[in-house]
């Protein structure tokens, strides 16, 4: 029984509390230091799943495609993230629908701070933290090139900052919706890269990703304005109370602070959109340059073919329907042998 308790510490979320409701008691959870043990266990699970996807799916596809080293590394990265993002989108969508966060947007800020979490919400956050922490040793296991390490470290750090911040500051409901939007756009991007590596002429999914990216950015900005600008300032409990998990809602009574936060959010989203537009313009410019070079090469090949083609010359010329020799005399008729 002692080993069972220790195993539960690693496998199951801790800090369960019975919360009284109108229908009886409801078991919910809050966070604590024991969550680190659970996260450590699921880091090892994520490493094992990463190896399974790599060996039984991605490596087999790579052997058939015969990609270069650079494309091989990017293909593995996108393949792993497609599997993760697809799983996370389905899981996150199920959580937000069953918990009613989409059907009732007011629940994103009502009764803040959201100290007590349903089981599936807490387990989702623990698994997300475990996955992005497992990505750090995977940089060594996958032998990622030195040029790619800074970019991937920035990506991992931003995800960990967002997920851990939402979890520790009791903004888990808002964090779930933002993760759903972000993962949806990322799924289409990495799926488009996989299709591009298999067929470089197929870039249709990049256009789909561009539309999804713009739509998700607009929804993200709208959600920030709705929650920060209108939702949190209306919370009843506006006093600083770290014991109850209320860390900063009192700050949103100050209109100057609220507008400063919204300005920072808008500037960040604007910078993301600017990088996206710059990327699209560069991609379109490369596409049109490639098309024009192909047309020039085809035109040059056609003119060369016409020049090398010799004109067909007749042995004589025609005059009044009779073939004449070049000196003007009629060609000699062939004598027929007598039978």
Q: Which residues pair with 268 in a beta bridge?
A: none
Is pLDDT at 316 greater than 60 in this prediction? no
* Cβ burial, residue 92 (10 Å; 0-12/13-18/19+): buried
Which strand (E) or helix (H) includes residue 319?
strand 317-319
Q: How far apart are CA 171 and CA 224, in angstroms?
A: 12
pLDDT score recorded for residue 198:
85
Confidence of residue 238 (pLDDT cuts 50, 70, 90): low
pLDDT score recorded for residue 130:
96
Residue-range domain boundaries for the chain: 1-202
Q: How far apart are CA 145 and CA 55, in angstroms?
A: 20
Instruction: Classify residue 250 by its DSSP letter.
Output: G
DSSP notation for 8-56: HHHHS---EEEEEETTEEEEEE---TTHHHHHHHHHHHHHHHHHHHIII
3-state SS class at 103:
coil
> What does the pLDDT look like over 118-166, one tens digit per residue?
999 999 999 999 999 999 999 988 888 888 899 999 999 999 999 999 9
> What does the pLDDT look like over 25-45, one tens digit per residue?
888 998 989 999 999 999 999
**Which of the pair, 196 or 1, is modelled with greater confidence?**
196
Confidence of residue 177 (pLDDT cuts 50, 70, 90): very high
Distance of CA 89 to the CA centre of its chain: 11
Q: Which of 123, 165, 95 is nearest to 35 (CA)?
A: 123
Of 68-77, 281-290, 296-305, the range with the lowest mean pLDDT is: 296-305
Which strand (E) or helix (H) includes residue 329?
none
Is pLDDT at 337 greater than 60 in this prediction? no
Q: What are phi and psi of 68, to 5 degrees?
A: -70, 170
pLDDT score recorded for residue 63:
86
Is pLDDT at 322 greater than 60 in this prediction? no
Q: Residue 138: CB partners within 8 Å, gap ≥ 6? A: 47, 50
HSE (CB half, 13 Å, CA atoms) of 125?
Answer: 31
Residue appearing with tokens 């809050």: 30
Q: Which of 287, 289, 148, 290 is nearest to 207 (CA)?
A: 287
Q: Is the peptide bond before 113 cis (omega within 30 degrees of 0)?
A: yes
Sign for the CA dihedral angle at 263, 265, 271, 276 comes to: negative
**Which of the pair, 134 or 306, is modelled with greater confidence?**
134
Contact 96/219 with Cβ under 8 angstroms? no
Contact 50/134 with Cβ under 8 angstroms? yes
pLDDT score recorded for residue 336:
45
Confidence of residue 269 (pLDDT cuts 50, 70, 90): confident
Q: What is the CA radius of gyration of the chain?
A: 33
CA angle 334-337-339, nearest 5°?
Answer: 150
Q: How far apart are CA 188 and CA 266, in angstroms?
A: 24
3-state SS class at 112:
coil
Predicted TM-score of the model (pTM): 0.81
Calculate mean pLDDT across residues 228-233.
Answer: 79
pLDDT score recorded for residue 335:
47
CA angle 317-321-326, nearest 5°?
Answer: 20
Calculate mean pLDDT across residues 50-78.
Answer: 88
> What does the pLDDT look like over 94-111, one tens digit per residue?
999 999 998 888 888 888
Q: How far apart are CA 13 and CA 118, in angstroms?
A: 11
Q: How far apart are CA 71 and CA 87, in angstroms?
A: 24
Of 51-55, 86-90, 138-142, 153-157, the range with the lowest mean pLDDT is: 138-142
């Amino acid at each position: 029984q002692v080993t069972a308790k220790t195993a539960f510490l690693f496998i199951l979320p801790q800090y369960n509390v019975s919360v009284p409701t109108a229908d009886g008691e409801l078991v919910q959870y809050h966070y604590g230091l024991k969550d680190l043990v659970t996260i450590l266990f699921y880091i090892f699970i994520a490493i094992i799943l990463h190896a399974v996807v790599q060996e039984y799916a991605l490596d087999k596809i790579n052997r058939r495609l015969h990609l270069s080293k650079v494309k091989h590394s990017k293909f593995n990265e996108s393949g792993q993230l497609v599997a993760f993002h697809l799983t996370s989108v389905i899981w996150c969508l199920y959580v937000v629908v069953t918990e009613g966060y989409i059907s009732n947007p007011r629940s994103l800020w009502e009764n803040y701070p959201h100290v007590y979490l349903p089981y599936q919400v807490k387990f989702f956050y623990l698994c997300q933290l475990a996955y992005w922490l497992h990505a750090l040793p995977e940089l060594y296991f996958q032998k990622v090139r030195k040029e790619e390490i800074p970019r991937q470290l920035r990506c991992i750090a931003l995800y960990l900052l967002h997920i851990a911040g939402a979890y520790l500051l009791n903004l888990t409901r808002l964090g779930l919706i933002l993760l759903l939007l972000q993962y949806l756009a990322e799924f289409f991007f990495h799926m488009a890269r996989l299709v591009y590596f298999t067929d470089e002429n197929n870039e249709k999914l990049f256009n789909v990703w561009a539309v999804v990216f713009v739509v998700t950015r607009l929804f993200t900005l709208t959600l920030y304005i709705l929650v920060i600008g209108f939702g949190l300032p209306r919370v009843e409990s506006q006093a600083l109370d770290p014991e109850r998990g209320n860390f900063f809602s009192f700050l949103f009574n100050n209109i100057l602070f609220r507008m400063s936060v919204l300005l920072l959010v808008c500037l960040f989203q604007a910078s993301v959109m600017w990088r996206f537009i710059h990327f699209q313009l560069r991609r379109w410019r490369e596409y049109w340059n490639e098309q024009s070079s192909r047309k020039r090469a085809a035109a040059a090949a056609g003119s060369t073919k016409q020049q090398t083609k010799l004109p067909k010359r007749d042995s004589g010329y025609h005059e009044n329907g009779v073939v004449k020799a070049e000196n003007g005399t009629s060609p000699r008729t062939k004598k027929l042998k007598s039978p």
